[in-house]
Protein backbone atom coordinates (compact mmCIF):
# COMPACT_ATOMS: atom_id res chain seq x y z
CA UNK A 1 0.00 0.00 0.00
CA UNK A 2 1.42 3.39 -0.99
CA UNK A 3 1.97 6.16 1.53
CA UNK A 4 -0.78 8.18 -0.16
CA UNK A 5 -3.25 5.29 0.27
CA UNK A 6 -2.26 4.88 3.91
CA UNK A 7 -2.86 8.56 4.59
CA UNK A 8 -6.22 8.52 2.78
CA UNK A 9 -7.41 5.58 4.92
CA UNK A 10 -6.30 7.35 8.10
CA UNK A 11 -8.11 10.52 7.08
CA UNK A 12 -11.23 8.57 6.10
CA UNK A 13 -11.26 6.73 9.45
CA UNK A 14 -11.02 9.98 11.43
CA UNK A 15 -13.73 11.70 9.39
CA UNK A 16 -15.94 8.59 9.50
CA UNK A 17 -15.83 8.52 13.29
CA UNK A 18 -16.52 12.25 13.49
CA UNK A 19 -19.63 11.79 11.35
CA UNK A 20 -20.75 8.80 13.44
CA UNK A 21 -20.22 10.88 16.60
CA UNK A 22 -22.42 13.55 14.95
CA UNK A 23 -19.76 16.23 14.84
CA UNK A 24 -21.21 16.71 11.39
CA UNK A 25 -24.96 16.22 11.14
CA UNK A 26 -27.12 15.00 8.32
CA UNK A 27 -27.49 17.72 5.70
CA UNK A 28 -24.42 19.67 6.81
CA UNK A 29 -22.00 20.84 4.15
CA UNK A 30 -18.79 18.84 4.54
CA UNK A 31 -15.42 20.64 4.64
CA UNK A 32 -13.86 21.23 1.25
CA UNK A 33 -10.89 19.30 -0.13
CA UNK A 34 -8.77 22.41 0.39
CA UNK A 35 -9.78 22.78 4.06
CA UNK A 36 -9.25 19.08 4.77
CA UNK A 37 -5.91 19.13 2.97
CA UNK A 38 -4.80 21.97 5.25
CA UNK A 39 -6.19 20.30 8.37
CA UNK A 40 -4.45 16.97 7.78
CA UNK A 41 -1.38 18.41 6.04
CA UNK A 42 -2.06 16.02 3.18
CA UNK A 43 -2.24 16.21 -0.60
CA UNK A 44 -5.52 16.96 -2.33
CA UNK A 45 -5.25 13.49 -3.91
CA UNK A 46 -5.16 11.77 -0.50
CA UNK A 47 -8.11 13.85 0.71
CA UNK A 48 -10.08 13.13 -2.47
CA UNK A 49 -9.53 9.39 -1.99
CA UNK A 50 -10.65 9.66 1.68
CA UNK A 51 -13.83 11.43 0.59
CA UNK A 52 -14.43 8.72 -1.99
CA UNK A 53 -14.24 6.12 0.78
CA UNK A 54 -16.77 8.04 2.88
CA UNK A 55 -19.08 8.26 -0.12
CA UNK A 56 -18.82 4.49 -0.63
CA UNK A 57 -19.87 4.06 3.00
CA UNK A 58 -22.90 6.24 2.30
CA UNK A 59 -21.87 8.84 4.87
CA UNK A 60 -21.48 11.75 2.44
CA UNK A 61 -22.79 12.57 -1.00
CA UNK A 62 -20.90 14.71 -3.47
CA UNK A 63 -23.11 17.36 -5.03
CA UNK A 64 -22.57 20.55 -7.04
CA UNK A 65 -21.02 22.98 -4.58
CA UNK A 66 -19.46 20.30 -2.37
CA UNK A 67 -20.22 17.19 -0.33
CA UNK A 68 -23.01 16.95 2.20
CA UNK A 69 -23.35 14.62 5.17
CA UNK A 70 -25.90 11.84 4.89
CA UNK A 71 -27.94 10.22 7.64
CA UNK A 72 -26.39 7.11 9.19
CA UNK A 73 -29.65 5.40 8.26
CA UNK A 74 -28.54 5.75 4.63
CA UNK A 75 -25.10 4.26 5.23
CA UNK A 76 -23.87 0.82 4.27
CA UNK A 77 -23.57 -2.15 6.60
CA UNK A 78 -19.82 -1.50 6.76
CA UNK A 79 -20.33 1.21 9.42
CA UNK A 80 -21.61 -1.31 11.99
CA UNK A 81 -18.12 -2.24 13.22
CA UNK A 82 -16.98 1.38 13.59
CA UNK A 83 -20.24 2.23 15.39
CA UNK A 84 -19.62 -0.55 17.90
CA UNK A 85 -16.04 0.67 18.41
CA UNK A 86 -16.86 4.35 19.02
CA UNK A 87 -16.89 4.19 22.81
CA UNK A 88 -15.28 2.18 25.59
CA UNK A 89 -18.34 -0.06 25.62
CA UNK A 90 -20.56 -0.97 22.67
CA UNK A 91 -24.03 0.53 22.52
CA UNK A 92 -26.29 -2.09 24.20
CA UNK A 93 -29.18 -1.23 21.87
CA UNK A 94 -27.01 -1.67 18.77
CA UNK A 95 -25.74 -5.02 20.06
CA UNK A 96 -29.28 -6.17 20.80
CA UNK A 97 -30.42 -5.11 17.33
CA UNK A 98 -27.58 -7.12 15.80
CA UNK A 99 -28.56 -10.23 17.77
CA UNK A 100 -32.22 -9.81 16.79
CA UNK A 101 -31.29 -9.50 13.12
CA UNK A 102 -28.79 -12.35 13.18
CA UNK A 103 -31.36 -14.51 14.96
CA UNK A 104 -33.81 -14.05 12.07
CA UNK A 105 -31.18 -14.89 9.44
CA UNK A 106 -29.85 -17.90 11.35
CA UNK A 107 -33.29 -19.30 12.15
CA UNK A 108 -34.31 -19.03 8.51
CA UNK A 109 -31.11 -20.70 7.36
CA UNK A 110 -31.49 -23.57 9.83
CA UNK A 111 -35.13 -24.13 8.88
CA UNK A 112 -34.39 -24.22 5.15
CA UNK A 113 -31.32 -26.42 5.61
CA UNK A 114 -33.12 -29.08 7.68
CA UNK A 115 -35.99 -29.21 5.20
CA UNK A 116 -33.69 -29.38 2.15
CA UNK A 117 -30.92 -31.67 3.46
CA UNK A 118 -30.22 -34.97 1.74
CA UNK A 119 -29.83 -38.13 3.88
CA UNK A 120 -26.05 -37.76 3.60
CA UNK A 121 -26.20 -34.13 4.69
CA UNK A 122 -28.46 -34.97 7.62
CA UNK A 123 -25.91 -37.54 8.73
CA UNK A 124 -23.15 -34.92 8.49
CA UNK A 125 -25.17 -32.45 10.58
CA UNK A 126 -25.89 -35.07 13.23
CA UNK A 127 -22.19 -35.87 13.47
CA UNK A 128 -21.39 -32.18 13.93
CA UNK A 129 -24.02 -32.01 16.71
CA UNK A 130 -22.34 -34.93 18.46
CA UNK A 131 -19.04 -33.02 18.33
CA UNK A 132 -20.75 -29.98 19.81
CA UNK A 133 -22.35 -32.04 22.57
CA UNK A 134 -18.97 -33.55 23.46
CA UNK A 135 -17.64 -30.05 24.15
CA UNK A 136 -20.75 -28.43 25.61
CA UNK A 137 -18.95 -27.70 28.89
CA UNK A 138 -16.23 -25.67 27.14
CA UNK A 139 -17.60 -22.57 25.40
CA UNK A 140 -14.26 -21.71 23.81
CA UNK A 141 -13.84 -25.19 22.34
CA UNK A 142 -17.39 -25.04 20.98
CA UNK A 143 -16.84 -21.88 18.94
CA UNK A 144 -15.05 -23.42 15.93
CA UNK A 145 -17.51 -26.34 15.98
CA UNK A 146 -20.47 -23.93 15.99
CA UNK A 147 -18.94 -22.14 13.02
CA UNK A 148 -18.54 -25.44 11.19
CA UNK A 149 -22.11 -26.48 11.99
CA UNK A 150 -23.61 -23.16 10.86
CA UNK A 151 -21.41 -23.14 7.76
CA UNK A 152 -22.74 -26.59 6.85
CA UNK A 153 -26.29 -25.32 7.39
CA UNK A 154 -25.61 -22.29 5.16
CA UNK A 155 -24.18 -24.48 2.42
CA UNK A 156 -27.25 -26.71 2.44
CA UNK A 157 -29.71 -23.79 2.59
CA UNK A 158 -27.88 -22.24 -0.38
CA UNK A 159 -29.17 -18.66 -0.03
CA UNK A 160 -26.39 -16.39 -1.29
CA UNK A 161 -28.03 -13.13 -0.20
CA UNK A 162 -28.51 -14.33 3.39
CA UNK A 163 -24.97 -15.69 3.46
CA UNK A 164 -23.41 -12.43 2.28
CA UNK A 165 -25.37 -10.36 4.81
CA UNK A 166 -24.55 -12.82 7.60
CA UNK A 167 -20.86 -12.83 6.69
CA UNK A 168 -20.69 -9.05 6.86
CA UNK A 169 -22.58 -8.89 10.14
CA UNK A 170 -20.44 -11.56 11.77
CA UNK A 171 -17.16 -10.07 10.54
CA UNK A 172 -17.90 -6.70 12.11
CA UNK A 173 -19.78 -7.73 15.24
CA UNK A 174 -17.76 -10.75 16.39
CA UNK A 175 -14.46 -8.93 15.79
CA UNK A 176 -15.48 -6.02 18.01
CA UNK A 177 -16.93 -8.21 20.77
CA UNK A 178 -13.84 -10.44 20.83
CA UNK A 179 -11.53 -7.40 21.08
CA UNK A 180 -13.47 -6.20 24.11
CA UNK A 181 -13.41 -9.59 25.83
CA UNK A 182 -17.16 -10.00 26.29
CA UNK A 183 -18.07 -13.48 27.52
CA UNK A 184 -21.83 -13.92 27.91
CA UNK A 185 -22.72 -16.37 30.67
CA UNK A 186 -24.79 -19.00 28.87
CA UNK A 187 -25.68 -21.88 31.14
CA UNK A 188 -24.71 -25.39 30.05
CA UNK A 189 -28.32 -26.50 30.45
CA UNK A 190 -29.38 -23.91 27.89
CA UNK A 191 -26.84 -25.16 25.36
CA UNK A 192 -27.72 -28.80 26.02
CA UNK A 193 -31.38 -27.98 25.41
CA UNK A 194 -30.55 -26.37 22.10
CA UNK A 195 -28.40 -29.29 20.94
CA UNK A 196 -31.03 -31.84 21.97
CA UNK A 197 -33.81 -30.00 20.15
CA UNK A 198 -31.68 -29.59 17.03
CA UNK A 199 -30.97 -33.32 17.12
CA UNK A 200 -34.69 -34.10 17.29
CA UNK A 201 -35.39 -31.69 14.42
CA UNK A 202 -32.83 -33.45 12.25
CA UNK A 203 -34.26 -36.88 13.05
CA UNK A 204 -37.78 -35.70 12.25
CA UNK A 205 -36.64 -33.44 9.38
CA UNK A 206 -38.58 -30.67 11.11
CA UNK A 207 -37.19 -27.33 10.00
CA UNK A 208 -39.75 -25.37 12.00
CA UNK A 209 -38.62 -27.03 15.23
CA UNK A 210 -34.98 -26.24 14.44
CA UNK A 211 -35.90 -22.63 13.70
CA UNK A 212 -37.75 -22.21 17.01
CA UNK A 213 -34.82 -23.76 18.88
CA UNK A 214 -32.45 -21.17 17.38
CA UNK A 215 -34.88 -18.34 18.14
CA UNK A 216 -35.09 -19.42 21.79
CA UNK A 217 -31.31 -19.69 21.96
CA UNK A 218 -30.84 -16.16 20.64
CA UNK A 219 -33.38 -14.80 23.12
CA UNK A 220 -31.31 -16.27 25.95
CA UNK A 221 -28.12 -14.99 24.29
CA UNK A 222 -29.54 -11.46 24.08
CA UNK A 223 -30.22 -11.47 27.82
CA UNK A 224 -26.76 -12.86 28.61
CA UNK A 225 -24.94 -10.40 26.35
CA UNK A 226 -26.92 -7.48 27.77
CA UNK A 227 -25.90 -8.49 31.29
CA UNK A 228 -22.24 -8.84 30.24
CA UNK A 229 -22.20 -5.36 28.71
CA UNK A 230 -23.86 -3.77 31.74
CA UNK A 231 -21.48 -5.58 34.13
CA UNK A 232 -18.41 -4.43 32.20
CA UNK A 233 -19.71 -0.85 31.99
CA UNK A 234 -20.52 -0.76 35.72
CA UNK A 235 -17.08 -2.11 36.61
CA UNK A 236 -15.43 0.48 34.34
CA UNK A 237 -17.37 3.31 36.01
CA UNK A 238 -16.50 1.95 39.44
CA UNK A 239 -12.78 1.86 38.56
CA UNK A 240 -12.91 5.41 37.23
CA UNK A 241 -14.67 6.59 40.41
CA UNK A 242 -12.11 4.89 42.66
CA UNK A 243 -9.22 6.47 40.74
CA UNK A 244 -10.85 9.91 40.94
Summarize the confidence of residues 38-61 as an average pLDDT.
95
CA–CA separation, 230 vs 45, rounded Å?
Answer: 44
pLDDT tens, 226-242? 888 887 766 666 666 56
Q: For residue 182, what pLDDT is reported?
A: 66
Record: fold of 3-75: Arc Repressor Mutant, subunit A (1.10.10)
**Residue 7 clears pLDDT 60, i.e. is over it:** yes
pLDDT tens, 132-141? 999 888 877 8
Confidence label for 1 from pLDDT (cuts 50, 70 and 90): very low
How much of the chain is helix, strand and coil, in % rounded to 5? 75, 5, 20
Q: For residue 63, what pLDDT is reported?
A: 86
Instruction: Parse the chain into domains and list their residue ranges.
Output: 3-75, 79-243
Integer CA distances (angstroms), 231 to 35, 129, 186, 191, in order: 43, 32, 15, 22
Helices (H) and strands (E) in the chain, counts: 10, 2
**Looking at residue 103, what DSSP letter applies?**
H
**Residue 121 clears pLDDT 60, i.e. is over it:** yes
Evaluate whether 61 touches 26 at the Cβ level (below 8 Å).
no
**Residue 145 clears pLDDT 50, i.e. is over it:** yes
Name all contacts of 130-139 with Cβ < 8 Å and 24+ positions apart: 132/195, 133/192, 133/195, 136/188, 136/191, 136/192, 136/195, 137/188, 139/183, 139/186
Q: For residue 116, what pLDDT is reported?
A: 96
**Residue 148 clears pLDDT 90, i.e. is over it:** yes
**Residue 45 clears pLDDT 90, i.e. is over it:** yes
User: How many CB atoms sit inside 10 A of residue 69's CB?
Assistant: 20
Summarize the confidence of residues 164-174 as an average pLDDT.
85
Higher pLDDT, residue 34 or 234: 34
Report the range out of 25-39, 85-99, 137-151 with the highest average pLDDT.
25-39
Q: For residue 240, what pLDDT is reported?
A: 61
Q: For residue 183, what pLDDT is reported?
A: 67
Hey, what CATH class is 79-243 in? mainly alpha
pLDDT tens, 172-221? 887 677 676 666 777 778 889 999 999 999 999 999 999 999 999 999 98
Q: For residue 115, what pLDDT is reported?
A: 96
Q: Which pTM does this prediction carry?
A: 0.82
CA–CA separation, 215 vs 8, rounded Å?
Answer: 42
pLDDT tens, 105-117? 999 999 999 999 9
Q: For residue 3, what pLDDT is reported?
A: 60
Mean pLDDT for all residues in the chain: 89
**Residue 37 clears pLDDT 70, i.e. is over it:** yes
Amino acid sequence: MSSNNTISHEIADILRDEILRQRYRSGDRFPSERDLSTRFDASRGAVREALSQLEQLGLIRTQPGGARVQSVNSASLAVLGPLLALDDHPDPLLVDQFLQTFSVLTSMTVKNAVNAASPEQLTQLKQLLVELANHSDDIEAMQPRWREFLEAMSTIADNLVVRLISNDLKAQFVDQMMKRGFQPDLKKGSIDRLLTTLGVSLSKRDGELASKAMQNHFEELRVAVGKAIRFKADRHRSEQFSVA
